[in-house]
Structure 1
Amino acid sequence: MYLFFLLFDCENPLSALSSLFSARENAKILRDILPVALWEQLNEAIFFFLRPQSLRVCNLLIIH
């Protein structure tokens, strides 16, 4: 349960997933001056968390 809170809980502004979403939203504003590699890394990190395997882990964390 604590791992879910720290990693995946979108209602927790300090969770890893919330932090990635915030970083991506901030990067959207600066996208014209950010290196393409940074933008791609942010997107890859978010998609890593949202892939089906990660969501299955998320469901296991909720159950336990």
Structure 2
Amino acid sequence: MGSVQDGCPNGLDLLRFLERVQERDLARTRRWIANEERRQQERARGEAARPAPPDWLLDYGLNN
């Protein structure tokens, strides 16, 4: 590895860069998780609010 004086990053600089990239990726993944959790909660609320099916059913004979 080069030194900071010759313009090349050293090992520690590269590791700090990698850390920042991974933190950004982790934040994005956490947003995806939060969005999916929100969608699941909305689906569950929608299913809970759905009216019950009717107690009756129309059945047509074969001649209709």
- Shorter-chain TM band: 0.3 to 0.5
Q: TM-score if structure 2 supplies the norm length?
A: 0.32
Structure (1/2) with the larger helix percentage: 1
Larger RCO of the pair (alpha carbons < 8 Å, separation 6+): 1
- Structure with the greater alpha carbon radius of gyration: 2
Q: TM-score if structure 1 supplies the norm length?
A: 0.32
